[in-house]
């Protein structure tokens, strides 16, 4: 048992962001799988954190919500020596926070709109909202592809919190809006992300659950367990 408990679900994109960060920072946490579909579990979780959003970190009784805050908290208080996801230089840190925000707001959010739409009853689907989400993803892909010129990771030399945000956002976004051939820098970056051990381990822990992912039709067969392909 560690001082840290992470409430999470193995399929959740925002949980992936923090799982990647824990791995990169060399931090152990007890993981508590959250089933928000269970009314009792949902009520207990809402009592702990009223937005009902996961992941949620508990550090010796202290509630630490919101992925970017969780990652900053982990870095400040628990990271193994020499491990960083937010640079110590203030200007570089600002650049990381900017791209963390851009991935959360303009890739993760529209990607979630597709999933939310699939989870609705047919009669309650909202095609206009889905079209807007698709447009936003396409414009984000173009912006990120251009930004990646001459960069290995989002903000340059070192893997950062922005890459932790990018990996799950892109992983699920491309299942709804595939990358176009002209976005070759983004496609190469996506493959680099998948090869990063922290990302590969996070994808691995989700493998048994991908068969339940609402957008599974668009998910590459390479991510499924052989018996579910
Ligand atoms: N801004 C939040 C977003 C977290 C979020 O949207 N989590 C989703 C899972 S990927 C969630 O909890 N969904 C459950 C719900 O909305 O009921 C963060 O960065 O932690």
* CA-closest residue to ligand 1 atom 6: 53
Binding site membership of 202 for ligand 1 (Cβ less than 6 Å): no
Whole-angstrom distance, CA of residue 200 vs CA of residue 197: 5
Cα 149 to ligand 1 centroid, rounded to whole Å: 31
Taking the model in full, what pTM does it have? 0.97
For the chain, the domains span 90-200
Q: Residue 38: which residues within 8 A CB-CB, separation 6 or more?
A: none
Distance CA 104, CA 67 (A): 10
CA distance 84 to 106: 25
Q: What is the pLDDT of residue 226?
A: 79
Q: Is the CB of 75 under 6 A from ligand 1?
A: no
Task: Give CA–CA dist 97/162, Å, rounded.
Answer: 7
Q: What is the pLDDT of residues 179-220, one digit of tens each?
A: 999 999 999 999 999 999 999 999 999 999 999 999 999 999
Q: Which CATH architecture has domain 90-200?
A: Up-down Bundle (1.20)
Intervals of the chain under pLDDT 50? none
Residue nearest (by alpha carbon) to ligand 1 atom 15: 53
The residue whose two tokens read 């251009």 is 146
What does the pLDDT read at residue 157? 85
12 ligand 1 Cβ < 6 A: yes
CA distance 136 to 180: 14
pLDDT of residue 156: 83
CA of 135 to the centre of ligand 1 (A): 22
Does any ligand 1 atom lie closer than 6 A to the CB of residue 71?
A: no
**Would the CB of 66 count as within 6 Å of ligand 1?**
yes
Are the CB atoms for 85 and 159 separated by under 8 Å? Answer: yes
140 CB near ligand 1 (under 6 Å): no
CB 216 near ligand 1, within 6 Å:
no
Ligand 1 touching residue 160 (CB < 6 A): no
For residue 163, what is the enclosing H or E element? helix 161-176
């Amino acid at each position: 048992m560690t001082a840290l408990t992470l409430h999470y679900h193995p399929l959740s994109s925002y949980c992936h962001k923090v799982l990647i960060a824990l791995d990169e920072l060399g931090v152990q946490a007890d993981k508590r799988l959250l089933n928000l579909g269970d009314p009792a579990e949902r009520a207990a979780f809402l009592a702990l954190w009223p937005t009902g959003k996961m992941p949620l970190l508990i550090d010796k009784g202290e509630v630490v919500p919101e992925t970017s805050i969780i990652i900053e908290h982990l870095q400040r208080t628990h990271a193994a020596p020499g491990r960083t996801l937010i640079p110590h230089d203030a200007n570089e840190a600002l650049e990381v926070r900017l791209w963390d925000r851009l991935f959360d707001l303009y890739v993760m959010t529209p990607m979630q709109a597709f999933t939310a739409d699939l989870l609705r009853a047919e009669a309650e689907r909202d095609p206009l909202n889905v079209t807007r989400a698709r447009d936003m993803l396409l414009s984000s892909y173009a912006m990120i592809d251009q930004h990646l010129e001459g960069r290995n990771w989002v903000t340059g030399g070192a893997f950062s919190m922005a890459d932790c945000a990018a990996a799950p956002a892109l992983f699920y976004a491309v299942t709804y809006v595939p990358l176009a051939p002209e976005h070759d820098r983004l496609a190469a970056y996506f493959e680099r992300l998948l090869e990063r051990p922290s990302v590969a381990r996070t994808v691995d822990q989700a493998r048994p659950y991908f068969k339940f992912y609402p957008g599974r039709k668009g998910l590459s067969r390479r991510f499924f367990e052989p018996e579910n392909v």
